[in-house]
């Protein structure tokens, strides 16, 4: 049974605070192991990758086989059914169109002092994308990471994907091909992250690493951060659905289960202003849990972390939503646009009953890599911005230096940074002398 809460109940605040603070993930401490793997790859390069791949993925390779050749990709994707290829292409096209609109503009202007100011965006030169193997090897994640990088203008995009027992999901290779990935390597785990960050004989280093992974991959990304950029370290997935009584309980139940089936640590919460509708959804969940393929996972998530919260009105729902700051937020209410104006902290909002969250996982267009664990209070989903950086530009004329230089001299002096001041003074003396 999920938790049933009601804001009208005396103990609500305490229960809700506990729900917010629930620790849903116990990451094993693998940091020492990961440190050893990274040191090994830095010291021995390809030789270390080959050994670690034999050990962890039961796959014997020559260094020259670390990279998956274009011919191998061709062969692997030849048998992908047309229906799946078409679906991936539609998703890619929509993701590309959405992210294309995110490209920020350069700026340049001359201010009143005569100084020319501005900034310029430029792409990261090389990026690496970690793709998990096995069960969590999702082609949709390849699209969601690779397409923003390519839209941003990353000229070299390398994918690493482990091939346990030699197996790689052909759809992952097809998604990489469709996204314009430049290089693919059959290597995984912390060793893949180390290779991307520091380079080996076969894998040139990159400047930024993104993509999901297990505890080893997450620990490795934390360790190489600084040497390269990384994306967020994602926690278990979450959905909050705010629904009034004018909804089909089964649809809402399926939306809740579409998060719960990801992971036993996932969290699905329903907020409704109609207690009996909440009960109807819970019953619909129980019914679906009788037959869902991933019912063991989804059921565990729902029993352990699921919640149905009854509120007095939708303003109260919005206030709770802002405290949850959910990764995914569905607004299944009569006027979802109005409600979305009040739900400020959320990674992605899905408006209205015809926008199930699963649309956003695949074909909506916006990114499905989103801030988890309440971090939507201060961070955003993956975007082209993650593959761009901004350089600020300043050019003063003699007149503009005369106008604003004296204030810099005063401030430098007040901070006891004499050379700072003198670098201005020497020029002003020449100009005025």
Binding-site positions for substrate read 237, 259, 262, 328, 361, 415, 420
* 378 interacts with its own copies by CB under 8 A: yes
Give the pair of three-digit tokens for residue 351: 């408006």
Q: What is the DSSP string of 139-169?
A: HHHHHHHHHHHHHHT-SEEEEE---GGG---
* 352 interacts with its own copies by CB under 8 A: yes
Q: Give the per-residue contact string, 110-129, with its own copies (x = CB under 8 A; - = no).
A: -x---xxx-x--x-xx----
Q: Give the per-residue contact string, 157-196, with its own copies (x = CB under 8 A; - = no).
A: --------------x-------------------------
Residues in 66-85 that interact with its own copies by CB under 8 A: 83-84
Shortest distance, position 51 Cβ to its own copies, whole Å: 26
Cα 297 to Cα 400: distance, rounded to the nearest angstrom = 65
Residues in 222-261 that interact with its own copies by CB under 8 A: 226, 228-229, 233, 248, 250-251, 254-255, 257-258, 260-261
With CB under 8 A as the contact rule, the residue among 98, 130, 198, 216 that binds its own copies is 98
Shortest distance, position 116 Cβ to its own copies, whole Å: 8
- Which residue, 65 or 116, has its beta carbon nearer to its own copies? 116
Residues in 264-323 that interact with its own copies by CB under 8 A: 288, 292-294, 298
Q: Which residues contact 104 (CB under 8 A, 6 or more apart)?
A: 121, 384, 385, 388, 390
Shortest distance, position 54 Cβ to its own copies, whole Å: 28
Q: How many CB atoms lie within 10 A of CB 170?
A: 17
- Which residue, 9 or 283, has its beta carbon nearer to its own copies? 283
- Which residue, 155 or 276, has its beta carbon nearer to its own copies? 155
With CB under 8 A as the contact rule, the residue among 138, 185, 277, 305 that binds its own copies is 138
- Which residue, 2 or 56, has its beta carbon nearer to its own copies? 2
Q: Which residues contact 294 (CB under 8 A, 6 or more apart)?
A: 261
The three-state secondary structure class of 117 is strand
**Active site (annotated) includes residue 409:** no
- Which residue, 58 or 390, has its beta carbon nearer to its own copies? 390
Cα 261 to Cα 299: distance, rounded to the nearest angstrom = 8
**Active site (annotated) includes residue 368:** no
Q: How many CB atoms lie within 10 A of CB 18?
A: 11
Cα 200 to Cα 82: distance, rounded to the nearest angstrom = 37
Find how far residue 189's CA is from the centre of its chain.
18
| Ordered alpha helix ranges (H), 199-329 | 215-224, 249-260, 275-289, 295-305, 314-324
Question: Measured at the alpha carbon of residue 338, what is the angle toward residues 336 and 340, in degrees to the nearest 5?
Answer: 65
Cα 239 to Cα 326: distance, rounded to the nearest angstrom = 6
Shortest distance, position 144 Cβ to its own copies, whole Å: 12
Are 348 and 330 a contacting pair, CB within 8 Å?
A: no
Write down how long the chain is. 433
Which member of 99, 328, 330, 368 is catalytic?
328
Size of the residue set binding its own copies (CB under 8 A): 121
Listed ranges 34-42, 271-279, 303-311, 380-388: which one lies at the site for its own copies (CB under 8 A): 380-388
* 377 interacts with its own copies by CB under 8 A: yes
Are 172 and 135 a contacting pair, CB within 8 Å?
A: no
Residues in 10-69 that interact with its own copies by CB under 8 A: none
């Amino acid at each position: 049974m999920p938790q049933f809460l009601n804001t009208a109940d005396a103990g609500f605040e305490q229960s809700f605070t506990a729900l917010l603070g629930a620790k849903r993930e116990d990451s094993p401490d693998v940091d020492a192991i990961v440190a050893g793997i990274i040191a090994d790859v830095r010291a021995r390069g390809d030789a270390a990758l080959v050994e670690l791949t034999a050990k962890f993925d039961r796959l014997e390779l020559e260094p020259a086989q670390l990279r998956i050749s274009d011919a191998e990709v061709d062969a692997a994707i030849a048998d992908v059914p047309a229906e799946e290829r078409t679906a991936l292409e539609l998703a890619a096209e929509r993701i590309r169109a959405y992210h294309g609109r995110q490209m920020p503009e350069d700026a340049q202007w001359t201010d009143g002092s005569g100084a020319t100011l501005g900034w310029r965006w430029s792409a990261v030169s090389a990026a690496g994308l970690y793709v998990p193997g096995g069960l969590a090897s999702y082609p949709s994640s390849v699209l969601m990471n690779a397409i923003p990088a390519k839209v941003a203008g990353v000229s070299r995009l390398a994918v690493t994907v482990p091939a346990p027992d030699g197996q790689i999901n052909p759809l992952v290779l097809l998604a990489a091909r469709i996204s314009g990935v430049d290089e693919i390597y059959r290597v995984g785990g912390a060793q893949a992250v180390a290779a991307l960050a520091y380079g080996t004989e076969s894998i040139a280093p990159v400047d930024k690493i993104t993509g999901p992974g297990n505890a080893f991959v997450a620990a490795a990304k934390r360790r190489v951060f600084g040497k390269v950029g990384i994306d967020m370290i994602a926690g278990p997935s979450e959905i909050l659905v705010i629904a009034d009584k004018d909804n089909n309980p089964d649809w809402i139940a399926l939306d809740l289960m579409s998060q719960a089936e990801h992971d036993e640590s996932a969290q699905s919460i329903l907020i409704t202003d109609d207690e009996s509708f909440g009960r109807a959804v819970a019953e619909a969940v129980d019914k679906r849990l009788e037959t869902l393929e991933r019912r063991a996972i989804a059921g565990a998530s729902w029993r352990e972390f699921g919640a149905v919260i009854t509120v007095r009105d939708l303003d109260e729902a919005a206030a709770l939503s802002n405290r949850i700051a959910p990764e995914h937020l569905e607004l299944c209410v009569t006027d979802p646009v109005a409600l979305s104006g009040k739900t400020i902290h959320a990674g992605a909002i899905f408006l209205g009953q015809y926008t199930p969250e699963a649309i956003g996982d695949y074909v909506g267009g916006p990114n499905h890599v989103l801030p988890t664990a309440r971090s939507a209070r201060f961070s955003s989903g993956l975007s082209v911005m993650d593959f761009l950086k901004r350089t600020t530009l300043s050019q003063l004329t003699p007149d503009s230096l005369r106008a604003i230089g004296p204030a810099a001299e005063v401030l430098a002096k007040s901070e006891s940074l004499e050379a700072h001041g003198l670098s201005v003074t020497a020029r002003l003396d020449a100009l005025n002398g």
